[in-house]
RNA sequence: GGAGGGGUGGCAGAGCGGUUGAAUGCACCGGUCUUGAAAACCGGCGUAGGCUAAUAACCUACCCAGGGUUCGAAUCCCUGCCCCUCCGCCA
C-alpha cells in the first residue's frame, strides 16, 4: 500500500511513477473521497465530543443526587445522528481504502519505463553459454533417457496421480533435487549470514493481504475448502515476511536476514499454453527464499547484496546467467525495483528466469504494519522488506541437466554438489 | 470432539457501568546525589487520525476482533479468533 499522504505531498511524482508501469491514475476520485472523509470525520468527532461531554454531565449530576430526567431528554436523538455520521464515514473510508490498496508500488527512479519483458535491461552477464558440439536435449528428454536411471523424471506418472504441471522424480534425480535444497540452505546460512526458518505452508488471508497477493491476485492461489479461510502458499515470501506483521523490531536486531525452503503452490491460471512442457512451470515446486527486513536507508544496498547471494549460487554451480533490471510494466505490483536472474538453457537457446529479487520499500510494511524502532527518533517507523529466490529448485535442476549434459545423454553433477550426492558424479 | 478458565500499555498485573488512556511494579529516558557506578529520590514514558506554523495546546479513536444494550462500556450481552487446563482421539 502506498502512503496516502503522497496524494497531497507529491501527486505529480505519484502519477509519473505509476505511468512507468503503464498505469494511469485519476487522482481526482481519491481527492474527492478524501475531502468527504475529512468532512464526515470532523462531523462525527464533533458529535462524539458532544455525547461524551453530556454523558459526563449526567454522571456527575447522578452522583450528586440530582434529577437527570431533563438531561436525558436533551440527548435524545443524538445517538441516531451519531450512528448515521459514523456509517457515512465508514463507507467513505472503505471506498477510499478499497481503491487505494489497488495501486501498485512506485517504481524507483532507476527503473526504466516499459510494457513487458522486452523492455527489461540487461545489467551484466556471468559465464558464457555452454558450448556443445551436438544438439542439446531438453531436460524432459534427458529425464526420461535410458542413460540416466530411466524415467528419473516421470511426467506421465504425475499426470495420473494428479494432473498436468506436476512431476514425479526417482532415484538420483530425486536426490539431486534434494541436494540442491541442502546446498543452497547451507550456503546462505553459513556464508551469507541468513537464519534458517521453518514455516507453515498454509496461511490465512491476512498474511496474503500483507504481502500483496490479495486482494488482487486471488486467481493465482490455491484456496482450501473448509471453514477456515486458508490458502496454500505461492512462495515462502508470504509466511516469512509476515513474521514481522504487526511487530515493532528493535533496532539492534536489524537487519533481519531469513532463508527458508518451502514448496510453492501456484494455480497458474492465465498461463495456459505457456511452458507446458517439463518442469519450468509447475503447480508445485520447491524454492529456497531469501528475505530481509532492513532499515529504510539500507534497502537499496540490501537489494544488491541479496541479489548477489542468489547469483553466488549460480556461480558455484557454474551456470551461465545474466542479471536483468525489470522495466515498470514487468514488475510485480508490490515491488519498487526488481532484478531477475536468468539462467542459460541450451535447449531453448536463451536465458530463462530462475530468480527474482525485489525491494518493496515500505509498500508491504505499510500493509502489514511492520515497523522498527528508530533510535534517532525513538519512534516506531515502517521498515523495508526485500526478498528473492535463492533459487527456484526445479528450474535449477533443469539448468543443471541441460548445461551439464553429455552427448550420450548422461548428466554430470556440478562439483559443489558431489558431496551432497554421496560422491556420485553422474546422473 | 467434550468440560472449564482466560485475552488490558514493551513486560508483569489491577480495574469489572460514570472525572480510567487506564492503578501498581519492572524495563526505558532525563535529573539530583556520587570521584565513577549502584542504590535512593524527583520527573518523564503508547499508537493513530483531526485541527495547527508547531514534534505546543485541544479534539477523536484504540483495553483480541466484530456486533448489541446504555445518556455513558476496558467493565454487561452475543458472535468469531486466539491462548491455557483437564478428558477423548491421533502422526
Its ipTM equals 0.85
Residues A110-147 have pLDDT tens digits of 999 999 999 999 999 999 998 889 999 999 999 887 66
Catalytic residues of A: 266, 281, 353, 356, 395
Distance CA A316, CA A13 (A): 41
Distance CA A249, CA A337 (A): 24
A67 touches strand B (CB under 7 A): no
Q: In what helix (H) or strand (E) does residue A77 lie, and over which residues does it extend? A: none
Question: What are the b/e assignments for A371-401, b being 16+ CB within 10 Å?
Answer: bbbeeeeeeeebbbbbbbbbbbbbbbbbbbb
Task: State whether the Cα torsion A125-A128-A134-A139 is positive or negative.
Answer: negative
Determine the distance between A378 (CA) and B44 (C1') in angstroms: 14
The cell 555452454 sits on which residue?
A: A130
More confident residue, A372 or A415: A415
Determine the distance between A116 (CA) and B64 (C1') in angstroms: 44
Q: What are the residue boundaries of the structural domains of chain A, listed by start?
A: 26-101, 117-421
pLDDT beyond 70 at A298: yes
Q: In what helix (H) or strand (E) does residue A391 lie, and over which residues does it extend? A: strand A384-392
A39 touches strand B (CB under 7 A): no
Structurally, at CATH architecture level, domain A26-101 sits in: Orthogonal Bundle (1.10)
pLDDT beyond 80 at A150: no
Contacts of A339 (CB under 8 A, 6+ apart): A123, A303, A307, A323, A324, A325, A326, A356, A357, A358, A388
Note the pLDDT of residue A350.
94
Assign domain A117-421 one CATH number from 3.90.245.10, 3.30.930.10, 3.30.200.20, 3.30.70.1290: 3.30.930.10
Nucleotide nearest to A41 (CA to C1'): B50
Residues A62-74 have pLDDT tens digits of 888 788 888 888 8
Distance CA A187, CA A132 (A): 30
Beta bridge partners of A344: A351
A390 phi, psi to nearest 5 deg: -135, 50
Half-sphere exposure of A249 (CA within 13 A, CB side): 26
**A130 in Cβ contact with A403 (< 8 Å):** yes
Distance CA A287, CA A264 (A): 7
Determine the distance between A134 (CA) and B65 (C1') in angstroms: 65
A69 touches strand B (CB under 7 A): no
Residue A112, judged by CB atoms within 10 A of its CB (0-12, 13-18, 19+), counts as middle
Amino acid at each position: 500500500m502506498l502512503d496516502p499522504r503522497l496524494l497531497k505531498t507529491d501527486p505529480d511524482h505519484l502519477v509519473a511513477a505509476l505511468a512507468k508501469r503503464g498505469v494511469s491514475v485519476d487522482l481526482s476520485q481519491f481527492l474527492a473521497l478524501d475531502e468527504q472523509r475529512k468532512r464526515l470525520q470532523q462531523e462525527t468527532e464533533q458529535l462524539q465530543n458532544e455525547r461524551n461531554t453530556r454523558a459526563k454531565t449526567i454522571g456527575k449530576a447522578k452522583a450528586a443526587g440530582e434529577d437527570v430526567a431533563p438531561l436525558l431528554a436533551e440527548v435524545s436523538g443524538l445517538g441516531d445522528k451519531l450512528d448515521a455520521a459514523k456509517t457515512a464515514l465508514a463507507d467513505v473510508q472503505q471506498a477510499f481504502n478499497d481503491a487505494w490498496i489497488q495501486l501498485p508500488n512506485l517504481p524507483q527512479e532507476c527503473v526504466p519505463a516499459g510494457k513487458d519483458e522486452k523492455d527489461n535491461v540487461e545489467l551484466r552477464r556471468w559465464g558464457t553459454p555452454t558450448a556443445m558440439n551436438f544438439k542439446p536435449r531438453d531436460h524432459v528428454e534427458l529425464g526420461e533417457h535410458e542413460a540416466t536411471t530411466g524415467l528419473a523424471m516421470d511426467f506421465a506418472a504425475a499426470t495420473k496421480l494428479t494432473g498436468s504441471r506436476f512431476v514425479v522424480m526417482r532415484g538420483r534425480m530425486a536426490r539431486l533435487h534434494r541436494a540442491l535444497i541442502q546446498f543452497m540452505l547451507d550456503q546462505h546460512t553459513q556464508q551469507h549470514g541468513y537464519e534458517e526458518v521453518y514455516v507453515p505452508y498454509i496461511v490465512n488471508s491476512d498474511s496474503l493481504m500483507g504481502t500483496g497477493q490479495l486482494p488482487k491476485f486471488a486467481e493465482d492461489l490455491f484456496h482450501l475448502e473448509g471453514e477456515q479461510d486458508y490458502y496454500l502458499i505461492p512462495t515462502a515470501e508470504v509466511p516469512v515476511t509476515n513474521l514481522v506483521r504487526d511487530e515493532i523490531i528493535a533496532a539492534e536486531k536489524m537487519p533481519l536476514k531469513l532463508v527458508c525452503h518451502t514448496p510453492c503452490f501456484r494455480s497458474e491460471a492465465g498461463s495456459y499454453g505457456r511452458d507446458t512442457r517439463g518442469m519450468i512451470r509447475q503447480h508445485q515446486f520447491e524454492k529456497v527464499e531469501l528475505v530481509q527486513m532492513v532499515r529504510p536507508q539500507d534497502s537499496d544496498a540490501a537489494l544488491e547484496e541479496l541479489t548477489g547471494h542468489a547469483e553466488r549460487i549460480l556461480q558455484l554451480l557454474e551456470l551461465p546467467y545474466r542479471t536483468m533490471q525489470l522495466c515498470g510494466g514487468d514488475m510485480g505490483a508490490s515491488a519498487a525495483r526488481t532484478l531477475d536472474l536468468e539462467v542459460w538453457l541450451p535447449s531453448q537457446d536463451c536465458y530463462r528466469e530462475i530468480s527474482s529479487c525485489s525491494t518493496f520499500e515500505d509498500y508491504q510494511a505499510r500493509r502489514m504494519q511492520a515497523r522498527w524502532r528508530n533510535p534517532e527518533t525513538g519512534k516506531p517507523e515502517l521498515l523495508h522488506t526485500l526478498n528473492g529466490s535463492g533459487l527456484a529448485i526445479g528450474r535449477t535442476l533443469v539448468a543443471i541437466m541441460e548445461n551439464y549434459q553429455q552427448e550420450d545423454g548422461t548428466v554430470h553433477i556440478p562439483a559443489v554438489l558431489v558431496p551432497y550426492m554421496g560422491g556420485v558424479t553422474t546422473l
